[in-house]
Structure 1
Amino acid sequence: MLLKLVLLVLLPLASALHFYMDAGEEKCFYEDLAKDTFVVGHYATSQIDKETGSPLDSSHLKIEIMVFETFDNDHRVVNQKAANQGKFTFTTAETGEHRICFRPLVPTGWFNKARIRMSLDIAAGDTSEIDTQRDDQTASLAQRVRQLTRKVQDVIREQAFQRTREAQFRDASEKINAGVLRWSIMQVIALMAVGVWQTYTLRTFFVKQKLV
């Protein structure tokens, strides 16, 4: 059974609604769209019990999405099978009426008591507006990249400064260690010289006193 629901919306605006379908049922929406119109549709579907209205497992639920150009012998421009929630997009090639259809893909049969609830939000706008939004997003990303680049450069400069400080400290430590080593050597030499002088003096004294 094909149910047709006609929506009259202005192009820059968005239309949001929810509706119910049975398994295998198809519902369509008609949109008069201008050429080069970018259309974005966000949808979410879930299964509920027909008798109790309680939610059912919807993990296996799939949705078939189709878009036709009614002015061109129902030329199909979109035909995709998607998950139970997500989005679809397309850009119109010509001005005219478009039919957007949805069909839930669930097992049908006597024991199937499921009913499908679908929420749909369709937004349409000129591609130039979309390009402007993309340009704005690109500019924002470029600004963030520049900010990150500046932060990285600051970190690099800080690391270079720390390396310079470490090199200066290492040079100063090496100079101090070299000075301490030289002073220690000089002290050892002086002590040895004093020891030799004292030994020579004592030996001379003992010789003069004829003690040796």
Structure 2
Amino acid sequence: MFPSNFARVLTRAWLVALFFGIFCGSLLPFSEALRFYVASNDKKCLKEEIHKNVVLTGEYEFSDSVGHTTTVHVSDTRGHTLYNRENFPEARGKFAFTADEYDIFEICFQMHGPTHQQKINREVNLVLKHGVEAKNYEDLAKAEKLKPLEVELRRLEDLSDSIVQDFAYMRQREEEMRDTNESTNSRVLYLSIFSMLCLLGLATWQVLYLRRYFKSKKLID
């Protein structure tokens, strides 16, 4: 009797924890929406920091403007092109890629229009998703025939893995910064010792020089 009641309590506690996790996960921001304006024949770039092996997806949409085209270009700090779409008249599109290593990626929008006309500001709506946010769980559920609760469990599992990876990255950065601080402190210590030895040598040389000078002038014995 007691083991059965205890198992029921554990089951209820597990379900409460599960639904609490799902509720907390639903409160997290799963997309980053940006809205800005780009004038005709002008260019505006944004930068996004992405960790290694993380998927980044972007959906963009422009306000309608007759006779205007757009170029969208995505590159990393080494100048490698990850996405490039030039002079297209459509008002929307999307891109996706996986980061091979940690980097800061640049997303550029360039508007093309008639040069003899007055500049027109076109509105750009950009939605960026990365990591767990970029994963399509609807397609995953259809492919693996998962139930809604199983999909939420998979999403929470991926989210927890992402959080663990973020903490591991923060710990790695902390270790790197600590090593840099220790190296800097060691260099400062060595430089201080070297400076003290130089000052001590200069003071000794001055004493010996003045002693010889005063002896040559017969001011001291």
Q: TM-score range by the shorter chain?
A: 0.3 to 0.5
**When you count strand as a share of all residues, which structure comes out higher?**
1
TM-score using structure 1 length: 0.47
